[in-house]
Structure 1
């Protein structure tokens, strides 16, 4: 995942049309972008700053499973029914990002097969990476000693 990003994954023509749908937004440190279980109807590509992704752990503080920085995708749940966030997200440093409305992007994907394929391929890679990161982090926090370490 390092050195890549959604904009690099999408071919130039479809990328330009995707960017036409984006709007610049900013979040101060400590702002919650979304909560686990809420309706997922948008996503962000971080320009500057960092966003922590966390998972609710009953009886404990939310566990941070990954931190997303510049070029990273925040939010993939908008793509998969039931369109509810699987994690929570918080700006850990002031964030500037591109925000995309899911319905608009999905409509563009219907008209642009190259965008649809590139975006879906990229998001599937992000999902796989986040699942592995979540598993490792939760094992490190709550499992037997070093059970999440890859040795």
Structure 2
């Protein structure tokens, strides 16, 4: 679990506020949650199971860039206009999750500045982590010498 997992990135009060508007969902293994370029109108927090994030590679099979588990945010594109997915996602096992309506969460962020700052910081951290993970994975797959030492 990363430092961007919601139980370490958001305080208990903010997690409770989100949980109150969550819908509990379950998906079997192999379910496509979203595709690159499509409308991002919801997001999930994994309660159990795993979700693979992938990126479309022309002429090849989609490349998995990261696998997410318990406590992790699935989807950040809902937070930033134009609200379109930047990656794809598929469950790799049975997944139980909290599902959130993006418009409702964005409205809550606008109504409560403290809550909005906490969510912005959390989502921003997730974006930074995903960008790093995607870069490393693509270098591993396609660069002549892999990702090398990034430190």
Contact 2:56 2:62 in 1 (8 A): yes
Deviation digits for residues 93-117 of structure 1 (CA, Å, limit 9, x no counterpart) = 1100000000111111112222111
* SS of structure 1 residue aligned to 2:124: helix
Give the conservation status (yes or no) of the 8 Å contact 2:49–2:94. yes
The answer to whether the 8 A contact 2:4-2:125 is kept is: no
- TM-score, normalised via structure 2 length: 0.93
What is the RMSD of the two structures over their aligned residues, measured on CA atoms? 1.4
Alignment pair present for 1:36 and 2:6: no
Contact 2:55/2:64 (8 A) holds in 1: yes
Q: CA deviation at 1:3?
A: 5.1
Which residue of structure 2 aligns with residue 94 of structure 1? 94
Q: Which position in structure 1 is the counterpart of 2:16?
A: 16
Query: TM-score scaled to structure 1, two decimals?
Result: 0.93
What is the alpha-carbon distance in structure 2 between the residues aligned to residue 69 and residue 134 of structure 1? 17
Moved over 3 A (4+): none
Equivalent-residue separation in structure 2 for 1:9 and 1:41 (angstroms): 22
1:74-109: per-residue Cα shift (whole Å, max 9, x none)?
000001111100000000011000000001111111
Q: Which aligned pairs between 1:35-114 and structure 2 lie closer than 5 A?
A: 35-114=35-114
Figure out how many residues of one structure are paired with residues of the other and give that number.
Answer: 150
Aligned mates of 1:4, 1:36 — CA distance in 2? 22
Question: How many angstroms apart in 2 are the aligned matches of 1:7 and 1:22?
Answer: 15
Change over 3 Å in CA distance of 1:33–1:96 after alignment to 2: same
Q: Which secondary structure state, in structure 1, belongs to the residue aligned with residue 46 of structure 2? A: strand
Partner deviation per Cα, 1:43-100 (whole Å, 9 max, x = no partner): 1000000000000000000000000000010000001111100000000011000000
